Every structure is written in structure tokens, then in C-alpha cells.
Amino acid sequence: MSETTFNWGVIAPGRIAHNFAKALKVVPNASLYAVASSNLERAKTFAQEYDCEHAYDDYQTLIDDPQVDAIYIANPHRFHFECAKKCLIAGKPVLCEKPITVNEAQVQELVELAQKHQTFLMEAVWTRFLPVWQQVKVWLEEQRIGELRVLSSSFSFNVPRDENDRLLNNELAGGALLDTGIYNLTMSQFVLQREPSSIVANGLIGETNVDERTSVILDYDGIASQFTCGLNATLDNSFTIYGSNGNIAVDSMFWGATKAVLKVKGEEELVIELPFRATGFEYQIEEVMNCIAQGKLQSDVISWQDSINTMKTMDEIRRQIGLEYPFLNRD
């Protein structure tokens, strides 16, 4: 790694990668060094927009570039496993968009590779690092709302009906659960710090064989987390944590929130607003860089076991609602 500048590489310069590149501009000593796309013109356009030095037309060239210190993977999640696997085998630290893989078996294999090659690996759950959610964590640790009882959240939009879009594409591991429901699930795990003891789910499988709506109740030894994720209706998209003495409400679009409200005994006690420095991705970027500087292979905020537990739970939810990805049997 260079002494003064940490060189990032980006695989797949799609919409979400723009949020990453914009966030890099406010991270000290971070540089967007290289981008790779299957379409060279797309890579060049992205590189030009963000003052990136190198644009490649295949992923392996970026992975093999000795000047790249870490790689951000942003392609459709069906392809996360293979990309992350190649990076880890090459000894390149990985920040991989969520969901990190499509099932538990794949993430288990990535963790084994990260251990074998002593290489950093982290799922890009940006929400966990946001200032508002870090404040929520402090309130919970202080037991400001007493004993936890119920978590209630939603992440659902009425998306335009385009059967060519990845969201409705079974071959790209589309559907609500893996795209939006992962936020409800991973933030439930963030709050409760353990796996659920029981899972009850139902869902609507649409014409393209993906879940267009999934509703879940997770039980954590008496504490319930209930959520709905979907592609066919717009819900309030907030996240509320109820305790014996009050509640914490995180604003609509909770996954990218800048505001939370703490209420105790039915009265508004504290409203906190914490805007991003850029897009909100800067906090997870800094976590990766700090972990690597400390010689750590994983983050304490989103550990390997966290990612394994999330995928294990989603495997069971998919089983219950009958959501199958045939490519898993072909790959």
C-alpha cells in the first residue's frame, strides 16, 4: 500500500458506484485509482467523471493491478461471489455490495478464502456506519427505552414494471428480499446482536419468479422484528424500535437516514439530525481503510458472522416463500 494515498478500484460502475465515488472525495488519503467494466466506454466515462487514472474492460486486469489497495464490488448480486472470490485469491481486500452473496454457502466459502489468504473482506452495509444509526446504538446501550420488545420496519416501493430490470430478473437473483429486505434484516441484527430463534415468512412470487412482496416476523427469544419489503407498493419505509419505556423512530428511508427521534414515556425527548459529509458511503469506506491499516481482516461493525447469519436467515425466508434461483444449481 502506498504511504500517503489509498488506491481504490471499482468493479462495475453502475448507479450505486457513483455514490461510492462521490463519497471517496471526502475521505482523507483515499483515491479512485481504477475502474473496470465489461463495457470499456462505460468505464472510461466513469473514470473521466471522477478523475480516475485507469479504466479497464475486464475485472481481472483491475484485480491484478499491483497499485490497487482494495476493491469495491458493485455489480448485480448474482455475480458478487465470483468477483469477491477472484479478489481474495489474489490477496486484494474486498468491500462487496450487499447482499454479499446469494446464499449462506457462498458467503461461508468467501470467509474461508479470506482466512486462508489473510485478506480483508466486508459486506457493504453502509447503513450500520451512518451517524444516526451509531447514535441509535448509543441510546440502546444506555437502555433509554428500557427492555426491547418489538422492531417494526418496511422497505417497499411501487417500482415501474420493467421485466428486463434486474429487480424482476430471476437470473440476476432479483426480488424484494435480497434487494431491499436485507436492510430490514441486517439492521434488526444490528439492534439485537444475534440470530433469530424463529422465522415466519410469506411472500408474493410474481410472473418473473421473484418475490414482489415478502413479509416476515423474526422472533429473538421474545423480541419480535416484523417487516415487509416489496416492489409493488410504496410503504412508509421507516424503522421503529419499541421498548418497555419508549421508542426510537428512524425516519423514512431508514437505510439512508439522517434523523432519529427518541421518545420516553410517550413524550418527545430528543430529535437528532446528523447529515452526511457526502453520500453516506464515506463512513464504511473509512472503516475499511482503518481496519486494513490496523491489520484486521474483518470489521466489528459488520463482521463475517453477521453476513453469514443474514444469509442463513434469508435462505430460510426464501425456502418458506418458495423463492428459488435455478442458477445456484448450475453454477
CATH (domain of 37): 3.40.50.720
Q: Which domain holds residue 213?
A: 131-275
Record the cell numbers describing residue 63, joined without a space: 484485480
41-71 pLDDT per residue, tens: 999 999 999 999 999 999 999 999 999 999 9
Pair (81, 163) in one structural domain: no
CATH code of the domain in which 229 resides: 3.30.360.10
* CA-closest candidate to residue 11, choices 20, 24, 2: 20
Say yes or no: 156 and 63 in one domain: no
Note the pTM of the prediction, 2 decimals. Answer: 0.96
43 falls within a domain? yes
* Count of alpha carbons within 13 angstroms of residue 147, beta-carbon side: 7
Note whether residue 115 is domain-resident: yes
Let me know whether 72 and 141 are in one domain: no
- Dihedral sign of CA atoms 93, 96, 102, 104 in order: positive
Residue at a domain's end among 80, 109, 127: 127
Among candidate residues 131, 246, 110, 235, the one with its CA nearest the CA of residue 184 = 235
Q: Quickly list H helices, 7-153.
A: 15-24, 40-49, 59-64, 80-89, 104-116, 131-141
| Cell representation of residue 186 | 441486517
The pLDDT value recorded for residue 161 is 85
* Nearest CA among 180, 131, 135, 129 for reference residue 285: 129
Q: Are residues 135 and 263 in the same domain?
A: yes
Digit-coded pLDDT (tens) for 85-144:
999 999 999 999 999 999 999 999 999 999 999 999 999 999 999 999 999 999 999 999
Helix (H) or strand (E) holding 199: strand 198-205
Instruction: Tell me: do 115 and 145 sit in the same domain.
Output: no
Interior CA angle at 178 toward 280 and 193, to 5°? 65
Q: Tell whether 168 and 197 lie within a shared domain.
A: yes
Question: Would you state the pLDDT for residue 37?
Answer: 97
Asked whether residue 331 is domain-assigned, the answer is: no
The low-confidence residues of the chain, meaning pLDDT below 70, are 1-3, 331
The answer to whether residue 87 is domain-embedded is: yes
Q: Is residue 60 part of a domain?
A: yes
pLDDT of residue 331: 64
Instruction: Pick the closest to residue 299 from 155, 102, 100 (CA basis).
Output: 100
Shared-domain flag, residues 113 and 138: no
Total domains present in the chain: 2
d(CA 105, CA 98): 15
Q: Side chain identity at 285, as an amino acid letter?
A: I
Cell 461510492 belongs to residue: 20
- Give CA–CA dist 76/165, Å, rounded: 11
Beta bridge partners of 193: none
89 and 173 share one domain: no
Cα-based torsion angle of the residue sequence 159, 162, 164, 168 in order, rounded to the nearest 10 degrees = 40
Which among 127, 143, 169 is the end of a domain? Answer: 127
Residue 112 C-alpha cell reads as 474461508
Residue 266 lies in a domain: yes
Residues 160 and 270 both lie in one domain = yes
Domain for residue 303, yes or no? no
Say what the pLDDT of residue 2 is: 44
Those residues with Cβ within 8 angstroms of residue 108's Cβ, 6 or more apart along the chain or in another chain? 308
Question: What's the pLDDT score for residue 4?
Answer: 80
Cα–Cα distance, 299 to 121 (Å, whole number): 8
163 shares its domain with 255: yes
Single out the residue in 275, 296, 319 at which a domain terminates: 275
Domain-located, residue 301: no
| Element holding 304 (H helix, E strand) | helix 304-321
